[in-house]
């Protein structure tokens, strides 16, 4: 995992429509980048819907919200349409950003060990520096915790 006061690694990934989106496109704005394991799974859906339900708060603060998983662009299209998600979802099938941000880790589930995305969120400041890290973010409270932090 990356730490606070570290330069956020730039990335160029495709959104649900196949457009390239770079982190550096948003210099001058605060950006919330959240990494999640998989579209349409219970925890990831709750987290995405929490960001959706709090989206006006992010918009009022001119904060960009980006979700990243290794799902395909098509999967993201369906996820966005099904839950009316108003923010950017990026596809990272080659684990470019996922590994650069240190969220591809060993996970244990029911005694089975495998590699996967650990649900994590970064707040990146206007200069591209990591301002806050939420390691092991909780799906239900992550969006509201971030807004609380931004309101301090």
Q: Per the residue annotation, which of 13, 31, 44, 118 is the catalytic one?
A: 44
User: Domain locations in the chain?
Assistant: 26-137
Give the predicted TM-score (pTM) of the model. Answer: 0.96
- May I ask the CATH class of domain 26-137? alpha beta
How many helices and strands in the chain, by DSSP H and E? 5, 9
Cβ proximity of 117 and 96 under 8 Å: no
Contacts of 60 (CB under 8 A, 6+ apart): none
DSSP state of 7: B
* pLDDT band at residue 152 using 50, 70 and 90 as cut-offs: confident
pLDDT value, residue 110 = 87
- Digit-coded pLDDT (tens) for 23-61: 999 999 999 999 999 999 999 999 999 999 999 999 999
Percent of the chain clearing pLDDT 90 (strictly above):
95
- Digit-coded pLDDT (tens) for 67-86: 999 999 999 999 999 999 99
Q: Average pLDDT for residues 122-143, to the nearest whole number?
A: 97
pLDDT over threshold 90, residue 98: yes
- Digit-coded pLDDT (tens) for 81-93: 999 999 999 999 9
49 is catalytic: no
Give bridge partners of residue 21 from the DSSP assignment: 13
Map residue 47 onto helix, strand or coil. Answer: helix
């Amino acid at each position: 995992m990356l730490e606070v006061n570290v330069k956020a690694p730039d990335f160029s990934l495709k959104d649900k429509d196949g457009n390239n989106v770079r982190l550096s496109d948003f210099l001058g704005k605060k950006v919330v980048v959240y990494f999640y394991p998989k579209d349409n799974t219970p925890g990831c859906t709750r987290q995405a819907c929490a960001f959706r339900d709090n989206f006006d708060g992010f918009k009022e603060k001119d904060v960009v919200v980006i979700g990243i998983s290794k799902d395909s662009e098509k999967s993201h299209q369906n996820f966005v349409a099904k839950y009316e998600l108003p923010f950017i979802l990026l596809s990272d099938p080659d684990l470019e950003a996922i590994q650069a941000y240190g969220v591809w880790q060993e996970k244990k589930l029911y005694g089975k060990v495998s590699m996967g995305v650990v649900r994590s969120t970064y707040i990146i400041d206007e200069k591209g520096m990591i301002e806050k890290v939420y390691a092991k973010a909780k799906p239900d409270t992550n969006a509201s915790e971030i807004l609380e932090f931004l309101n301090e």
